């Protein structure tokens, strides 16, 4: 059995001002391997880029479409990579739902 909680570091500026580079997140990835966690529109998720298998994304789930989740950046002006550039992300590539930010680098 795998651990259902997962820690992820934010490295890009696409989710500013809420999340900034250096922040650490705790994400829920579920109890059963191969079964994606329940996601609702508006939640921040961890997903794999559909065209680059080695890239994880921290994005906001905007809506569920027939082809998967439409994921957006809170700060698209930061050169964000999201569904605007690659389309919906299949639900099987959404690996976790962010529960909380537990470390904020450089913030009071």
pTM: 0.88
What domain range is 89 assigned to?
5-103
Q: Quick check: is 56 in a domain?
A: yes
pLDDT score at 73: 95
What pLDDT, in 10s, does the model give residues 8-18?
A: 999 999 999 99
Domain with residue 62: its CATH number is 2.10.109.10
Q: Quick check: is 99 in a domain?
A: yes
Q: Quick check: is 91 in a domain?
A: yes
Residue 101 phi, psi (nearest 5): -100, 120
pLDDT band at 105, cuts 50/70/90?
Answer: low
Question: Into how many domains does the chain fold?
Answer: 1
What pLDDT, in 10s, does the model give residues 59-92?
A: 999 999 999 999 999 998 887 789 999 999 999 9
What element of type H or E holds 86? helix 83-86
Q: How far apart are CA 79 and CA 87, in angstroms?
A: 16
What pLDDT, in 10s, does the model give residues 24-48?
A: 999 998 777 767 788 999 999 999 9
Tokens of 91: 């639900």
Q: Quick check: is 108 in a domain?
A: no
């Amino acid at each position: 059995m795998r651990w259902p909680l997962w820690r992820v570091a934010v490295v890009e500026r696409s989710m500013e001002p809420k999340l900034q580079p250096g922040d650490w997140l705790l994400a829920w990835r579920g109890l059963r391997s191969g079964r994606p966690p329940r996601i609702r529109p508006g939640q921040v998720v961890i997903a794999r880029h559909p065209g680059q298998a080695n890239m994880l994304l921290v994005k906001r789930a905007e809506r569920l479409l027939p082809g998967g989740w439409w994921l957006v950046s809170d700060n698209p002006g930061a050169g964000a990579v999201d569904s605007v550039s690659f389309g919906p992300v299949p639900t099987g590539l959404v690996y976790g739902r962010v529960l909380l930010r537990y470390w904020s680098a450089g913030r009071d």
